[in-house]
Amino acid sequence: MLSGNFRPWGHFSWVENKLEEREWCFLGCLSTEDRFIAAVEQAKLRFQLLSSLFIEVKDEESEYTDRVLEKNGNHALLLQSLLGSTHTVQQLKLLGSPILLKQAITEFIAISNGNIVLDISCFPKRFFFPIIKLLHESDDVQNLLVCYSLPDKYHDGPLSEEPLSWSHIPMFQQSEILTTKVEKAIVGVGFIALGLPSLLKNDYNDAEVTLLFPFPPGPPNYQRTWEFVQEIEKFYPLDDSERIVRVDVKDVSGCYDHILNLTDNGTNTSILAPYGPKTQSLAMALFAIKHGCGVFYTQPKYYHPDYSSGVKFLRGIPEIYLYCIKLDGRSLY
Amino acid sequence: MDERLNSFHDLYLTEAIGSDSFVKLFSPVFMEHSMALYQPGNVILKGLQGSGKTMLLNLLRPEIRLAYYNNQTEFPVNKDLRKFISGGINLRKSGVAEFGQLILPGSSIEFVRELTLHFGDFVNYWVVQDLLRTLTLISEVGYKTLASEIGINTDLKVFDKFSKALSRSDCWLGGLNEVNSFKELQSQLNARIISYRQYLNLNIDQLPSSISKSKTAIGEPISIVAELLKSCNVLDDDTNVFIRIDQYEELPSLDFSESDFGRSCQELIHKALSARSSRVSYRIGARHYAWPEYPEIFATTGSLENKRDFSIINIDEALRRAENRKGWIFPALAEDVFIRRLKLTKYKFDHGVSVLLDDVLGVALSSDQKSKMLVASEQSRKSVIKYEKNWPIKWVDFLEKLSVEDPFSAKLAEAWVRQKGKEKQEPLHNIPEEKPYPWDKKYWKKERAEQALVQLASRNKQQLIWQGKNDLIGLSGGNILIFLFLCQHIWDAWLRDTRDEDISCHTLPKINVNAQSMGILNASEEWLKKPVEGKDSKRRLQFINRVGYRYYNILVDDFAMSNPGKNGFSLPLDELEAKANDDVRKFLNLAVDYGDLHESVHTSKTKGEKRKKYYLAPILCPAFKIPYKHIKEPEYMAVKGIREMIKESTQNKSLSSKKKDIEADDLPLQFNLFE
């Protein structure tokens, strides 16, 4: 609210209650994670779903491939029993051309009624960043909601493996050539640094690094997020305590405002590195769309089939958050 | 409050430091080996990550030149080679990878070819833009003397004249409108680059037809720019124009959707070099195996030739120790870097460069001294020898006594008697009574000293001791980044170790053996985590672990110390280069490229046979408790054996089961003295 914009968000049912629009189209990710279906179940319960598109992201071949196929196959059956013929599943390669993703989203927008709910819970950043951009920038999308379901728990070991070189997320390369130095590098703190520290040091040594620390992380995430900070610290000493900014992990709007503040209302030349929770990454995506800054990541080649399991419940209902991004054709960010 | 600083904590990656710090920290020691960079002719600068490729290329950048000028510090290039300007492109940072992402499964060959030409056009515009930026920076008011030293005429009228002439050149194939000023020229170049980036960002569905119809030939506009800069009197005739292309290794990874796009882009870069233009010289920064053995030229059947079309500076080769220590420059470079770091963090000292490391780290301990630290108590010394049940009692008594007095000698004696006892019975019954003992013979002892320490540490469940300048330099493996990384961890360990002591932040530290050893072990373990970055990282890490544990087990279990050199493996070259072994060769090349393994030519014990030998990077050795020194013969292996090791390493077999495998299948036979 620092910017004066009211950006409604909260528990799915709380936000949904206040929306006039009742007919929506749903865009989600068919994945190995149990939470992939939580939001669409709620959406089906509370809205009239006109159509749904689920993207099944095909990782690179790995030792996990068979297990991923098995889990995805079971989840596809769940989806079929929930949505019947009103949904489509499209397979896209994780490291495939973003043009195919753009085509899929453009076609989905074309058949939609302009009201779209996007579930980012299980999408890799390489997918949900471009999706958000395409939906946000499309004049045909009048109302855009993003939802995020919390898992019951994350896998104890590595969540992803074999990161590629540090590169832009597709569609998030700044168009301008940076003739001036990058002033700010804003890093979302996650579980695995994936080679980020040395890359930061190599390419943006002059930039002031700020870490957006998800708060409260809660055990066992607490230890893993601090390990991430420690990893950065080893390579890139953080000169003062202000370099770590604690942001409410669920508050996309607040996180967006933090980034605005850190970059002097977006006027500083900045780059973003979304290694943190999806909601924080969502704020980064929205900021980058508006201010045209580059978003960089070391994209893993594949994810663990047990990335997360279960769905978190709060007082008997699944903990799913809903964020209003566009209402009546107006962007709230 | 402890105000002492770790001189190596920040700024430890010299290749990326800010311009002003660069001036203070850049060591000119390597300059004499890199002079080709500042002379006409194409140069391929090869090296591992952290070897200093980017740092050396940075010396060509205008920002660094200006920083030296502003700091009133002598530019570290010979005076007669300082007349140059440069422009360039970092292939990773400029985002060229996005070109490859435009290729879809089933994209036509024509489309991929068209895209390749667009890549060339993008590189042309980017580099020309960067060259103009260089001119802008150096011609700013206040840099007249520098501009004059480089040979730049700062009169804006000649800039405009040049711009007009350039915009009218045919090399643009209609891509530029005629301009009247330098600024206008820059703005047109910029607009084209922005169009490209919009296209690559999928913000526009296709490039404007004006761009598609005016794709330039790689290198041509760059060459024309150099020519016109001189003919329009912007540059002196004898000012060299250098073009930097960094992160060349990005290109092979652009073969998206099973296309040859990445390879075609490489060939396009080779085409620019093939012009052998006297107007411009290229400097390509690349990892070792990214630069092909036969660099083919785009749309021709020819390839570039080493020494004719380009020369190679191999940083790692120049900085790694050869068989002969003479002429090895890394120690001097490391000392110089060390002293610069300490000066920057305000430590006070007036020592000469060559003694500072010794002063801080102390005199190197002998193997004998290390052994006494590894097994300090009398009780522990009694258990350093593995006695065989059927050994004569007098040998057992002798070894037991010797192990208490001198555990190092006792360990060597154990190996000696196992070896000699295998050959004939006599040594078993005749115990040497006088010193020097036969196992004290200079080379016999020297070749087994490291293995003896490994075994002593293992028997007593201790870490090896790493200490002193030689260990620090040796573990760095000729890589300055690793040297700084080790220093950083030693310093951290020392700060922790002495946190309760009242030591001034200006007093040069005397770092004790424990802190050094602990710091080095921490650094090694940290470094071991590093290979999880980059191509095929998981398999590489698994393989490294397999290699490390394999040689630890071999060295520990070889009580006769018959194979003290087995901390690496050697492969026959003809087998390695056979087409059928592409998989293993490529995997090993990758591991070498990422610095996991060190590779060198191996003179085989079989006359006429050519082999290559591979060792773990020295920095990884402390984590596996194996020596980094390469003594005697490595393990002779066949490619099949390595393939098997790669396969096994990915099967997550537990180490204990692996140990059994090694014992059963691969270890040298343990000799029974009374067989």
Poorest-pLDDT segment among A233-242, B56-65, B299-308: A233-242
Residue B169 pLDDT exceeds 60: yes
- For the purposes of burial, counting CB atoms within 10 Å of the CB of B434, is it exposed (0-12), middle (13-18) or buried (19 or more)? exposed
Residue A3: pLDDT band with limits 50, 70, 90? low
- The answer to whether the CB atoms of B13 and A205 lie below 8 A apart is yes
Quick check: A270 and A187 in contact, CB under 8 A?
A: no
Residue B275: pLDDT band with limits 50, 70, 90? confident
Q: Which residues of chain B are at the A interface, by a Cβ-Cβ cutoff of 8 Å?
A: 9-10, 12-13, 15-18, 54, 92-93, 95, 97-98, 101-105, 126, 129, 133, 190, 193-194, 197-198, 200-203, 250, 253, 256-257, 526, 532-534, 536-538, 650
**Structure token digits, residue B655:** 């180490």
- The three-class DSSP label of residue A162 is strand
Size of interface A-B (CB pairs under 8 A): 91
pTM above 0.80?
Answer: yes
Q: Do domains A9-155+306-331 and A165-298 have the same CATH topology?
A: yes
Q: How far is B201 from chain A (nearest CA, A)?
A: 4
**Strands B610-616 and B597-603, how do they pair?**
antiparallel
Enumerate the domain spans of chain A.
Answer: 9-155+306-331, 165-298
Across the interface, of A99, A168, A298, the residue whose CB is closest to B104 is A99
B101 CB neighbours in chain A (<8 A) are: 97-99, 170
Which of B11, B101, B115 should be substituted to probe chain A, the one whose Cβ sees the most A Cβ atoms within 10 Å?
A: B101
A162 CB neighbours in chain B (<8 A) are: 536-538
Across the interface, of B101, B190, B538, the residue whose CB is closest to A161 is B538
Residue B328: pLDDT band with limits 50, 70, 90? confident
Poorest-pLDDT segment among A17-26, A135-144, A161-170: A161-170
The interface predicted TM-score of the complex, written ipTM, equals 0.85
Evaluate whether the domain defined by A9-155+306-331 bears CATH number 2.40.50.
no
Measure the CA–CA gap between A155 and A150, rounded to whole angstroms.
13
**Strands of B252-344, DSSP E:** 280-286, 311-314
Closest of A290, A95, A258 to residue A187, by C-alpha: A258
Across the interface, of B13, B194, B256, the residue whose CB is closest to A201 is B13
Report which of residues A290 and B508 the model is more confident about: A290
pLDDT tens digits along A23-42:
999 999 999 999 999 999 99
A309 φ/ψ angles, rounded to the nearest 5 degrees: -135, 150
Which of B186, B200, B201 should be substituted to probe chain A, the one whose Cβ sees the most A Cβ atoms within 10 Å?
A: B201
Which of A100, A235, A236 should be substituted to probe chain B, the one whose Cβ sees the most B Cβ atoms within 10 Å?
A: A235
pLDDT tens digits along B620-674:
999 999 999 998 899 999 999 999 999 988 876 544 434 443 333 333 333 333 3
Strand partners, B571: B612
Q: What is the pLDDT of residue B667?
A: 35
Q: How far is A207 from chain B (nearest CA, A)?
A: 10
Strand partners, B242: B86, B281
B534 CB neighbours in chain A (<8 A) are: 165, 195
Across the interface, of B12, B193, B202, the residue whose CB is closest to A99 is B202
Residue B42 pLDDT exceeds 80: yes
Q: What are B331-339's contacts with CB under 8 Å, separation 24+?
A: B331/B469, B331/B473, B332/B29, B333/B27, B333/B29, B333/B30, B333/B480, B334/B472, B334/B473, B334/B476, B334/B480, B334/B483, B336/B27, B336/B28, B336/B29, B337/B14, B337/B25, B337/B27, B337/B480, B337/B483, B337/B484, B338/B487
Q: Which residues of chain A are at the B interface, by a Cβ-Cβ cutoff of 8 Å?
A: 63, 96-100, 102, 130, 161-168, 170-177, 179, 194-195, 198, 201-203, 205-206, 234-235, 237, 298
pLDDT tens digits along B595-610:
899 999 998 888 889 9
Which of B55, B66, B202, B525 should be substituted to probe chain A, the one whose Cβ sees the most A Cβ atoms within 10 Å?
A: B202
- The answer to whether the CB atoms of B253 and A165 lie below 8 A apart is yes
Across the interface, of B95, B203, B257, the residue whose CB is closest to A168 is B95
Quick check: B283 and B125 in contact, CB under 8 A?
A: no
Measure the CA–CA gap between A246 and A241, rounded to whole angstroms.
11
Enumerate the domain spans of chain B.
Answer: 18-319, 362-459, 533-675
Measure the CA–CA gap between B94 and A178, rounded to whole angstroms.
10
Which of B8, B203, B533, B538 should be substituted to probe chain A, the one whose Cβ sees the most A Cβ atoms within 10 Å?
A: B533
Topology at the third CATH level for domain A165-298: Rossmann fold (3.40.50)
Measure the CA–CA gap between B484 and B340, rounded to whole angstroms.
12
Q: Which residues of B202-215 are buried (b: 16+ CB within 10 A; e: fewer)?
A: beeeebeeebeeeb
Residue A216 pLDDT exceeds 60: yes
Torsion angle of alpha carbons B159, B164, B165, B167, nearest 10°? 120
Q: What is the pLDDT of residue A177?
A: 66
- The three-class DSSP label of residue A195 is coil
A38-46 and A65-83 are packed helices; what angle lies between their axes, rounded to 10 degrees?
10
Q: What is the pLDDT of residue B675?
A: 31
A167 CB neighbours in chain B (<8 A) are: 92, 95, 97
B182-200 and B109-138 are packed helices; what angle lies between their axes, rounded to 10 degrees?
140
pLDDT tens digits along B104-147:
988 999 999 999 999 999 999 999 999 999 999 999 888 999 99
Measure the CA–CA gap between B589 and B583, rounded to whole angstroms.
10
Q: How far is B603 from chain A (nearest CA, A)?
A: 36
B599 φ/ψ angles, rounded to the nearest 5 degrees: -120, 145
Q: What is the pLDDT of residue A197?
A: 67
Residue A109 pLDDT exceeds 90: yes
Q: What is the pLDDT of residue B661?
A: 39
Quick check: B413 and B427 in contact, CB under 8 A?
A: no
Across the interface, of A97, A166, A177, the residue whose CB is closest to B103 is A97
Q: How far is A14 from chain B (nearest CA, A)?
A: 36
- The answer to whether the CB atoms of A203 and B93 lie below 8 A apart is yes
Q: What is the pLDDT of residue A222?
A: 67
DSSP code per residue over B210-264:
HHHTTPPPTTHHHHHHHHHHHHTTSB-TT-EEEEEEE-GGGGGGG-GGG--HHHH
- The answer to whether the CB atoms of A98 and B534 lie below 8 A apart is no
Report which of residues B89 and B50 the model is more confident about: B89
Across the interface, of B13, B133, B257, the residue whose CB is closest to A179 is B133
- The answer to whether the CB atoms of B95 and A203 lie below 8 A apart is no
Measure the CA–CA gap between A62 and A303, rounded to whole angstroms.
9
Give the residue ranges of DSSP H helices in B433-580. Answer: 442-459, 468-476, 480-497, 513-529, 537-557, 573-576
Across the interface, of B202, B534, B537, the residue whose CB is closest to A171 is B202
Q: What is the pLDDT of residue B664?
A: 36
A99 CB neighbours in chain B (<8 A) are: 101-102, 104, 202
Instruction: Return the percentage of chain B with pLDDT > 90, whole number.
Output: 60
Across the interface, of B18, B193, B526, the residue whose CB is closest to A205 is B18
pLDDT tens digits along B201-219:
998 989 999 999 999 999 9
Across the interface, of B10, B98, B532, the residue whose CB is closest to A173 is B98
A194 CB neighbours in chain B (<8 A) are: 533
Type of residue found at B36? A
Measure the CA–CA gap between B588 and B614, rounded to whole angstroms.
9
Report which of residues A221 and A292 the model is more confident about: A292
Strand partners, A115: A143
Q: What is the pLDDT of residue A40?
A: 97
A102 CB neighbours in chain B (<8 A) are: 202
Q: How far is A299 from chain B (nearest CA, A)?
A: 11
Q: Residues B108, B110, B115, CA angle at the centre, nearest 5°? A: 100
